[in-house]
Structures are given as structure tokens and as C-alpha cells.
Amino acid sequence: MIAPRLSLGVFALAALTGCTSAPGTATLVAQGRPIEVIYPMKSGATPGLMERDLVACEMEAAQSVPQRIAPMLPPALPGQSLNPCTEMGYSVSCRAPGGQIFGSERYSAYSYDATASVMAEVEARCILRSGYRLATLPRCPEGVQTRPVASRMYPLSERTCYLPDAVAIYAVTETLR
């Protein structure tokens, strides 16, 4: 599987290089079509060099863009009035204005890093400066043996392909000769 920490930087890299996300990667994987983005590639890069470069870019982004943790609250929506109202013909009379407010309950609030997209863009620019580009990966042919899927990143070759699973997640591997 691709390292989870690469997701934002690589998606930002896709945006910087002009790739679009429609249809999404999950849709392409589910359909068995080639995926356009996700895997950074550099000619001659070994797995060790690739890992060092990507970690260095991640560190550069983390050091140059400070985190800004912000609260996120769902919007408050006015609810029906709890005050009794009386209808008389075409008019409605209520004893007091107001109503219940729904949303923004404490249990539905969460926090997020408001600078995550900026950090991802800085990481993507670093990856580009380091000579990496995005590769188009085909689906591995049915019935063909592949290398074991590893958590490390292999350099790409003409045999590199992806293996989908049942929920449209994929792993990058290579076919065996």
C-alpha cells in the first residue's frame, strides 16, 4: 500500500501538475482503469532514496508551515417553535417568538488543521523540485503473478501495476517475468 503520509502531498502534486480528479481514483480502481495519480516517480531512484526524499519534503513542509488547529462546528439550524401557537382563520398567533436551535452540539464538534492544504502544497512543490513526477499505473492483468505487496515503495518499471481490493483501495506492485 502507498504510505498514508504521502496522500496530501501527492494529491497536491497532482493539482500542481494539472491532473484532475474526475473521475476519482476509487472509481477508476473499481472500474479496473489506469489510475492517473498517486505514485511519485524519479528515474533511477532506489526505494531508500525515494523514502529519504519524500520524508525530507514532508519535514520541509512541516517546518515551513505552522499548524493552525481550528474548531469545526456544524451549522446551527432553526427548528420548530416550542412556543404554542394558535391558528385563527388566516392568522397565526404565538405567545413568544423563538424556537429551538439544532446543530452545534458539543458532541458533533471536531478540530482540524486549517493549514493542511498549504502544507500539502509546500510538500508537493518540494517533491517536484526533487525531480519526481506522477506516474500512470495500469491495473495488474488477471491471473498474472506479482511481487508481494510491501509497505515500502519500489521504483517504478514497465512491470509496475496496481492490485485493487474489494473496496476500491489498491496496492502498488510489479508483475513477475
Average pLDDT over residues 144-154: 74
Q: With 80 as the cut, is the pLDDT of residue 130 above it?
A: yes
Chain centroid offset of residue 165 CA: 18
Percent of the chain with pLDDT over 90: 19
Chain centroid offset of residue 68 CA: 19
What confidence score (pLDDT) does residue 174 get?
A: 84
- For 155-177, the pLDDT digits (tens) are 677 888 888 877 767 778 888 87
Average pLDDT over residues 28-33: 77
- For 33-76, the pLDDT digits (tens) are 777 546 787 877 877 888 899 999 999 999 999 999 988 776 65
Percent of the chain with pLDDT over 70: 59
Average pLDDT over residues 77-97: 60
Q: Considering only 33-47, 97-111, 137-151, which range has the smallest mean pLDDT?
A: 97-111
Helices 47-64 and 116-129: crossing angle in degrees, nearest 10, is 140
Q: With 50 as the cut, is the pLDDT of residue 20 above it?
A: no
Q: Where are the alpha helices (DSSP H) in the chain?
A: 7-16, 25-31, 47-64, 116-129
Q: With 80 as the cut, is the pLDDT of residue 96 above it?
A: no
